[in-house]
Chain A
């Protein structure tokens, strides 16, 4: 690369076209992990090889629920917990679409928990990006089904006494065919994993461990967003293929990340074709999947 090329000014950031510029600035706090999560996501969408017109993003409610609203794609901001059944209708209504649900832990795992396990059970061809910040950010830092034991929130002022869900364990046990977890610090691995999840057929789940310095971090004296990222840097252990039952997160525990599940299983529509296709002409178009090169972990 010549000096001149290196200095060339560009008018637009390479991901500008995928964001609704007229909605920026966004509502998220400084230090929140959603910025890096969305950047990773946009890059994954850009590189996944699927025509952008064929991608729909569906969110529920909460801080992460606002992601759909910033994506310059067909985007649906639904009600609390209901992103997955809405996405199911969208996907079955037009199987040529790639439907991605981007929402938070409270939305997907608490109020939407039943939808989560059933969509996984059916192996619906939908990708879920679940940003887990261990609390309800939008409403002011209440306890979540992911809040670690002993951790403080505004509704667990004496420390959480409820056993939390481990999202990869729940996803794998319910039937997800791709399950990965990264932190918001691991932007490159996160992007690659999101890209892989998007092109995989079946119910794929990527959990993103994300700092919420404004609430969860403050209530548990974890410092600034940067301090929380530093904690991830020092306490993240990459363990591909780890048993999803073994990756639960404690209050101050190590965070096990990596790709835990990557298997093949017929999707809901595969089963429908198999079960009914011979007898009826149900037009089920294949979803657009172009060849995509997913960079490896260690590049």
Chain B
């Protein structure tokens, strides 16, 4: 049942991509700019139909460079904004993801990952943009990224992504994948008043006292909007609290330090994962997205063989749950990390395990999901 809030409360049969779109609407997104690209296009198509119904604006831009900039511009006009893309478009968005980070502009980008590099496998799955999500734009920064593994999670995590983007005033990435995006399953959309929404932190001082980059105690500044009389200057150059460019080492150290700290110092509030039977486990399968679901059969089979297997399913992948991995590493023989790439998140697990447990990557170059037997084999090796 449609409500004024744009929330389609009820039980639905939706693809992951449609669920991302509905999650965005439920979170209050009223501006989408995008460019068609497989396998993410359904997010745009769904919003092209739905946004006008709820008073929002959909625009198909000339490319992903433009899409990324348009969502930043609309955010400064006061909208909650989103774009959706896949590998090649994600690469183009990297340029202005950086602009979003340095100008502290809240917005959400959905990347429905496919096989790469380059045009790669437009219609087939990959999970190989995980490090690009972390490091893809130039310069030092921290990012927030979530990984859904079902259509329900596409809805839930997109709402969460919007909330995090407003809370920390930063672009947030939803790192979906082709299988999750195209898989159609039951999605329960709660009533609007049961969906937690984080509002934008607007200025609490008049224009003459406003400093656009003077942070609150949590490191996040208040955000004025264009047209409200604040006459702010917003630049992609390194800037001071006034927002004015300052091309010095000191200004860089101060600004970048704060941008990184506002994520790192709040990481315990941001990080989220699901943990299952990790106490006393011989092996812990650490995974995310579609690979977390593919692992289920291997985990059941290993348990049937008598191996104590725990599961650590990552929800927020960036910032990475360093402390959790370190803690578990001291209590288990090994981690098994299945992912549809040739070693990305497994490197993080290895780094955070500090040599206390072995880390076995189950790689896959992309184009399909893992054969669960390969994961089972890795679990056996880790337990040995």
Residues of A within 8 A of B (CB): 20, 22-23, 53-54, 56, 58, 68-69, 72-79, 81-82, 84-94, 96-97, 114-115, 118, 272, 276, 279-283
Q: Assess the B231–A89 pair: CB atoms within 8 A.
A: no
Complex alpha-carbon distance, A283 and B75, angstroms: 17
B347: min CB distance to chain A, Å: 30
Complex alpha-carbon distance, A94 and B228, angstroms: 11
Complex alpha-carbon distance, A174 and B124, angstroms: 37
B85: min CB distance to chain A, Å: 14
A72: min CB distance to chain B, Å: 6
* Known pairs A79-B96, A114-B63; A93 contacts B232 (CB<8 A): no
* Known pairs A82-B65, A282-B55; A89 contacts B73 (CB<8 A): yes
* Known pairs A54-B227, A85-B69; A69 contacts B244 (CB<8 A): yes
Q: Assess the B226–A89 pair: CB atoms within 8 A.
A: no
Complex alpha-carbon distance, A180 and B377, angstroms: 71
Partner of B234, one of A76, A81, A115: A76
**Does B309 sit at the interface, judged by CB under 8 A?**
no
Selected interface stretch from B76-84, B194-202, B329-337: B76-84
Q: Assess the A92–B62 pair: CB atoms within 8 A.
A: no
Q: Assess the B229–A53 pair: CB atoms within 8 A.
A: yes
A68: min CB distance to chain B, Å: 7
* Known pairs A82-B66, A114-B62, A282-B52; A89 contacts B236 (CB<8 A): no
Complex alpha-carbon distance, A20 and B62, angstroms: 34
Partner of A89, one of B55, B72, B98: B72
Q: In the assembled complex, which residues on chain A have CB atoms less than 8 Å from the CB atom of B228?
A: 53
Q: Assess the A93–B76 pair: CB atoms within 8 A.
A: yes
B305: min CB distance to chain A, Å: 54
**Does B141 sit at the interface, judged by CB under 8 A?**
no
B35: min CB distance to chain A, Å: 11
Q: Assess the B233–A68 pair: CB atoms within 8 A.
A: yes
Q: In the assembled complex, which residues on chain B have CB atoms less than 8 Å from the CB atom of A279?
A: 52
Partner of A87, one of B53, B65, B73, B98: B73
Q: Assess the A82–B69 pair: CB atoms within 8 A.
A: yes
Count of interface residues, chain B, beta-carbon cutoff 8 Å: 47
Q: Which of B31, B70, B73 has the most CB of A within 10 A?
A: B73
Q: Assess the A85–B73 pair: CB atoms within 8 A.
A: yes
Residue ID in chain B nearest A283 by CB atoms: B55
Partner of B226, one of A22, A74, A282: A74
Q: In the assembled complex, which residues on chain A have CB atoms less than 8 Å from the CB atom of B33?
A: 85, 88-89
Q: Assess the B233–A89 pair: CB atoms within 8 A.
A: no
B327: min CB distance to chain A, Å: 41
Q: Which of B65, B77, B226, B234 has the most CB of A within 10 A?
A: B226
Q: Assess the A20–B233 pair: CB atoms within 8 A.
A: yes
Complex alpha-carbon distance, A93 and B242, angstroms: 24
* Known pairs A79-B96, A82-B96, A97-B227; A90 contacts B233 (CB<8 A): no
**Does B205 sit at the interface, judged by CB under 8 A?**
no
User: Given A77-B236, A89-B70, A114-B62, 4 more contacts at CB 8 Å?
Assistant: A56-B226, A85-B65, A86-B70, A94-B226
A209: min CB distance to chain B, Å: 27
* Known pairs A69-B244, A69-B245; A89 contacts B74 (CB<8 A): yes
Residue ID in chain A nearest B232 by CB atoms: A74
Q: In the assembled complex, which residues on chain A have CB atoms less than 8 Å from the CB atom of B74?
A: 89-90, 92-93
Complex alpha-carbon distance, A79 and B234, angstroms: 11
Q: Assess the B231–A73 pair: CB atoms within 8 A.
A: yes
Residue ID in chain B nearest A118 by CB atoms: B62
* Known pairs A90-B74, A92-B57; A97 contacts B233 (CB<8 A): no
Q: In the assembled complex, which residues on chain A have CB atoms less than 8 Å from the CB atom of B62?
A: 85, 114-115, 118
Q: What string of 1s and 0s marks CB contacts (under 8 Å) between B83-108 and chain A?
A: 00000000000011011000000000
Q: In the assembled complex, which residues on chain A have CB atoms less than 8 Å from the CB atom of B69?
A: 78-79, 82, 85-86, 88-89
